[in-house]
Structure 1
Amino acid sequence: MTTTHAPVGGLDAAAEPRARFSDLMAAEWIKLRSLRSTWFAYGATALAVVGFNAGTAYDTYTYWPQRSATDRADYVRAGMALQDAFTANSAMVMMLALGAIGALAIIGEYSTGTIRTTFAAVPARRSVMAAKTVVVTAVATVFGAIVAGTSFALTQAILAGRDAGLSMSHPGALRVVVASALLAPVCAVVGVAIGAVIRHTSATMIASVIVILVLPIVFTEGRHWSAVAGHATLYQAWLRLVEVNPRQTDFPWTTGGAWSVYAVWALTAAALAVTSTQRRDQ
């Protein structure tokens, strides 16, 4: 008698189809939603952001009678209520929080070692990272839309008690809401990219703070090169998009330029996140 040996892994393994991208996204969604800390972080961030904005609007509401008639008329005429719809403090909180959440989506797997299991099951690392990036971006986009929309509705409802609230149809209102909402997914993708490159929790958090928050503060409008560098940062792009009355500066720029900064940051971060793990040991 002769004995035949089946190939290693058997016929089923040899015929097993490659993972579809939709399957990879489903797996990444399961990873994300199974972590309670993720939802705690999103919830705390939402409360902080909406709380900052509502608190600012309520402060305006409280001290409204102390304003002069001219000041109140100027406030309404200039549409200054849009500045209370999404404040600079709330933008900073959301940028830092979403950057951290995005980074944790990848460095959490590196710190526990489960990334080895993921790449062993799906050797196509770029596909895995692309799926993770898409899922993180989608969740952050929904989060940003809910938070920005809620902030606008709540703050304008508060200010409406003084006949100072604005509707979404007011010129510039939609731009403020969309620009604020898109801060969430862009910063989340930046966090994923930084986490994929550095892969260590503490160093990633420090790098996120520097890239997202410190650099925009360092660059000023005093010199041309500094102004251009500052305009290329996310925070300053957001400031330009939500300006009610654009400031007169030596180096002005347009809202189109600010939108392009959003796009460049998002696309560059996504490309870096997808390709950074390709030639690494894990």
Structure 2
Amino acid sequence: MARLAGKRTLITGGTSGIGLETARQFLAEGARVIVTGVNPDSIAKAKVALGEQVLVLRADSASVAAQQDLAQAVKEHYGQLDIAFLNAGVAAWAPIEQWTEQAFDASFNINVKGPFFLMKALLPVFASPASVVFNTSVSAHVGAAQSSVYAATKAAFLSMTKTLSSELLERGIRINAVSPGPVETPLYDKLGIPDAYRDQVNKDIAASIPLGRFGTPGEIAKAVVYLASDESKWTIGSELVVDGGRLING
């Protein structure tokens, strides 16, 4: 059964990792899909991977103006929007003494400010009903060393699933969050971990997960499909943790 048949969907950060796999699964469920990215190579690869029926747009998640332009592009392409998966984000981990104001602001701009103002810009575009899924993180709950800024951005974003649900429900906009644990995606390649230590870091991360391994983008995408679809229409302001049991260990 095509659970998203004919649904007009937007996936930010949809050119790699969880976003790209979610785009594939949305297509398999019958949806129409727009994805965004910022890296030219990833954008080019996504166009090939997803096919000509998918509109791939460049949109800088840190820019409020870019979010407004994206909302306009969605309106021009679809008229209205049924589903949005706000997935674009950055994972920067560092000890507190290494953080600068510029780096701090960059993380919050991409992970919090950008998606907040995209939601605002999309308000006239959302159909009623519409389903929105935020990609947050178990880091919002786990006090991992060196994750202070990243975890704070995800905690802020997760909070919006409740506050914006309360505010926008009367408009027919239903918001939920998926919170992945460690997943095998390019995001982890951007953490700046030296190659010499990468294997050990991966082993340490896997050891913190009761299932003993990283998750896959496909496993997260399946959760997003559920939250986006009408199967979850009585689920509002909720968080679906998909983490291999990571939170069991605190």
TM over 0.5: no
- Which structure dedicates a bigger proportion of its chain to helix? 1
TM-score normalised by length of structure 1: 0.28
TM-score by length of 2: 0.31
Q: Larger strand proportion, structure 1 or 2?
A: 2
Point out the structure with max Rg over C-alpha: 1
